[in-house]
């Protein structure tokens, strides 16, 4: 930690949230004569790298100035009146729960901007692409930084339009249908979620998330809490995505460009689970206690369902798309996050938050790698990669093959890598759930989740065997470039953080645990 004054911390957080929005506007304007260069398209892509890089520097400075001795306290706070008639305030702040998500979001957007500078997806104007990317970044960062329910909703919705256009205009086959499915599912969930947020705000007399968390549901009747959890939880479950509200995800991932898939999996899915932790756990504790067994059941089914779907896609002859397979794997991984939240215990919720970060790093890396394979082979179809071309990545492109194998074993939860700790803590939380919850039910969910880890290992090892192993001479001669310099630049931070989080989990848990303890105690711990 370094000593940064509170006013500078305030500025850094406001800067991180607002600058991408200003950068998005600037990207659409004509470049000043001195900055046009010989290639205006490359100039606007450099603009994207510069803005996301500045936001990443601000996020790192926030982390360095963050008081790690008091991670349960909101820091870098800004609280000014915006719409007095509705008591809506521009209230920003970060604690040990939101800081890691803020850092990961800033990092992934910067890496995507760097990757796009060298490998821009086919589509319309690069200006529009960079502008949409920056609007998306502003919305996601705001979601993790705002402390007002209606501002949270606005930030939550702000990301839908840019992601819709990234899929619809820069995506692959079936992109229009996938984009429409994405927007319709998420908008429907958001309308219901808004009703729940209004129900809380109007019944309690405030939309301030800090005040509501400190009140811990005492100002809300049991019926109000039940209705609020049902409405808000539905909207958050669509974005997470929870089985059976997940069906938009595989189509969106399959059609999205590489950076779209990275951001969808690495950042946007976390907005749903963050909402469960930040809003429902502290503000509607009775409602969550009522619905926790059902949330745990849906989570356990999602874990096994996602794994079985991946196994089916990985089988020879099923023409399984590798991007689609990883999308279904996200349904299973996010099931562990929801299971951890459903336990209502510090162990389970810390596991859920850890699994959130691990999934963002590992699945972001997986989508980068699959995008690189698709660029080289012209297809992400597993049978094509494994059969027709005799992929044998270890022999044809050893670095690419090694990275794919690393990401796969990290995703299956190998001890020593980031994917292990979150899932293990979620299962531990299910072993001893919060008082009043049915222990036999949660022991069943734990057993189902543990079985899901075996299925996860099975399908990922099948993918590695089919794509990476084999005789390079078995297929036709294919000139295959190994990892390029810009790919190393984009992927190395994700590999390093996956290892670091796996070897030193206390770094992340030391941030989240005090904040989780306070949150579950209603702001009194």
Q: What is d(CA 355, CA 330) in angstroms, rounded to the nearest whole number?
A: 11
| Matching residue, tokens 């957007």 | 109
> How confident is the model at residue 492, as a pLDDT?
92
Per-residue pLDDT of the chain in tens (525 residues, 90 and over written 9)? 677 788 888 899 999 999 999 999 888 887 665 555 566 677 888 889 999 999 999 999 999 988 888 888 888 888 888 878 777 788 899 998 999 999 999 999 999 999 998 888 887 888 889 999 999 999 999 999 999 999 999 998 888 889 999 988 887 778 888 888 888 888 888 889 999 999 998 888 888 888 888 887 787 888 889 999 999 999 899 888 888 888 888 888 888 888 989 998 888 889 989 999 999 999 998 889 999 999 999 999 999 999 999 998 888 777 777 888 998 998 899 999 999 999 999 999 999 999 999 999 999 999 999 888 888 777 777 777 775 545 567 777 788 888 988 999 999 888 889 989 999 999 999 998 888 888 899 999 999 999 999 999 998 988 888 887 765 555 555 556 777 888 888 899 999 999 999 999 988 898 899 999 888 886 554
What is the rounded distance in angstroms from the CA atom of residue 232 to the CA atom of residue 71? 26
Three-class SS state of 76: strand
Check if the beta carbon of residue 254 is closer than 8 Å to that of residue 178: yes
Structural tokens at position 96: 């040990």
CB 369 within 8 A of CB 450: no
Query: What is the Cα–Cα distance from 66 to 60, expressed in whole angstroms?
Result: 10
Cα separation of 200 and 215, whole Å? Answer: 12
**Burial category of 221 from C-beta neighbours within 10 Å (exposed 0-12, middle 13-18, buried 19 and up):** exposed
DSSP labels, 452-517: HHHHHHHHHHHHHHHHH-S-TTTS---------HHHHHHHHHHHHHHHHHHH-THHHHHHHHHHHH
DSSP annotation string for 372-399: HHHHHHS--BHHIIIIIT---HHHH-HH
Residue identified by tokens 């690189």 is: 372
- Contacts for 272 with CB less than 8 Å, ≥ 6 apart: 236, 237, 238, 239, 240, 241, 242
The enclosing H or E element of 77 equals strand 75-83
Instruction: Bin 421: left if φ > 0, else alpha if -120 < ψ < 50, else beta.
Output: alpha
Question: Residue holding tokens 């931070």?
Answer: 493
Q: Which is nearest to 474 in space by CA: 383, 376, 381, 386? A: 386
- Find the distance separating the first CA and the last CA of the chain, reported in whole Å: 23
Which DSSP symbol is given to 5? -
Q: CB under 8 Å to 402, separation ≥6 — which residues? A: 394
Q: What is the pLDDT of residues 486-511, one digit of tens each?
A: 888 889 999 999 999 999 998 889 88
Given the DSSP bridges, would you call strands 75-83 and 88-94 parallel, antiparallel or unpaired?
Answer: antiparallel
Of residues 65, 418, 46, the one with CA closest to residue 266: 418
305-333 pLDDT, tens digit per residue, is: 999 999 988 887 777 778 889 989 988 99
Q: How far is CA 81 from CA 86, 146, 158, 210, 452, in A?
A: 10, 13, 21, 15, 48
Beta bridge partners of 81: 89
- Counting Cα atoms < 13 Å in the Cβ hemisphere of 369 gives 28
Q: In this predicted structure, what is the pLDDT of residue 436?
A: 83
The DSSP annotation for 79-143 comes to: EEEEEGGGTEEEEEEE-TTHHHHHHHHHHHHHHHHHHHHHSPPSSS-HHHHHHHHHHHHHHHHHH
C-alpha span between 120 and 77 (Å, rounded) = 37
**Spatial separation of the C-alpha atoms in residues 339 and 383, rounded to whole Å:** 33
CA neighbor of 458 nearest in space, from 252, 343, 312: 312
Distance CA 17, CA 100 (A): 15
User: Which one, of 421, 369, 147, lies nearest residue 262 by Cα?
Assistant: 369
| Cβ neighbours of residue 163 closer than 8 Å, sequence gap 6 or more | 136, 182, 260, 263, 264, 268
């Amino acid at each position: 930690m370094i000593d940064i004054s509170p006013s500078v911390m305030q500025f850094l957080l406001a800067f991180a949230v607002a600058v991408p929005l200003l950068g998005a506007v600037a990207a659409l304007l004509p470049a000043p004569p001195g900055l046009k260069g010989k290639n205006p398209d490359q100039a606007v892509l450099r603009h994207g790298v510069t803005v996301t890089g500045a936001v990443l520097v601000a996020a790192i400075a926030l982390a360095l100035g963050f008081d790690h001795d008091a991670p349960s306290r909101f820091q870098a706070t800004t609280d000014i009146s915006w719409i007095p008639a509705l008591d809506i305030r521009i209230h920003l702040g970060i604690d040990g729960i939101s800081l890691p998500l803020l850092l990961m979001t800033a990092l992934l957007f910067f890496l995507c901007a760097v990757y796009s500078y060298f490998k821009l997806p086919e589509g319309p104007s690069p200006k529009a692409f960079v502008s949409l990317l920056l609007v998306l970044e502003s919305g996601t960062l705001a979601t993790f930084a705002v402390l007002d329910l209606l501002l949270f909703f606005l930030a939550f919705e702000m990301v839908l339009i840019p992601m819709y256009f990234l899929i619809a205009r820069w995506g692959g086959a079936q992109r229009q249908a996938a984009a429409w499915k994405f927007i319709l599912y998420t908008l429907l969930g958001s309308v219901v979620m808004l009703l729940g947020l209004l129900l809380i705000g109007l019944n309690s007399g405030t939309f301030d998330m800090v005040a509501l968390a400190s009140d811990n549901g005492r100002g809300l009747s049991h019926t109000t809490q039940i209705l609020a959890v049902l409405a808000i939880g539905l909207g958050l479950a669509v974005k997470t995505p929870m089985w059976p509200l997940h069906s938009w995800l595989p189509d969106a991932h399959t059609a999205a460009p590489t950076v779209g898939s990275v951001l969808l999996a690495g950042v946007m899915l976390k907005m749903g689970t963050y909402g469960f932790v930040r809003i429902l756990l502290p503000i509607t504790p009775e409602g969550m206690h009522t619905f926790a067994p059902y949330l745990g059941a849906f989570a356990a089914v999602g874990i096994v369902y996602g794994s079985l779907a991946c196994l089916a896609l990985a089988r020879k002859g099923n023409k399984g798309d590798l991007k689609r397979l990883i999308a279904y794997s996200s349904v299973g991984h996010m099931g562990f996050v929801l299971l951890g939240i459903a336990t209502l215990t510090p162990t389970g919720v810390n596991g859920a938050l850890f699994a959130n970060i691990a999934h963002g790093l590992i699945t972001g890396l997986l989508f980068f790698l699959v995008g690189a394979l698709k660029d080289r082979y012209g297809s992400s179809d597993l049978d094509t990669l494994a059969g027709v071309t005799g992929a044998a990545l270890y022999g044809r492109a050893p670095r690419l093959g090694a990275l794919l194998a690393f990401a796969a074993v990290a995703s299956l939860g190998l001890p020593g890598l980031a994917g292990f700790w979150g899932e293990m803590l979620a299962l531990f939380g299910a072993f001893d759930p919060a008082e009043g919850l049915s222990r036999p039910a949660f022991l069943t969910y734990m057993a189902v989740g543990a079985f899901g880890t075996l299925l996860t290992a099975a399908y990922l090892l099948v993918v590695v065997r089919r794509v990476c192993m084999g005789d390079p001479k078995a297929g036709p001669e294919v000139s295959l470039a190994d990892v390029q310099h810009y790919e190393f630049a984009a992927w190395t931070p994700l590999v390093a953080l996956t290892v670091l989080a796996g070897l030193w989990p206390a770094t992340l848990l030391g941030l989240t645990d005090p904040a989780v303890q306070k949150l579950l105690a209603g702001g009194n711990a």
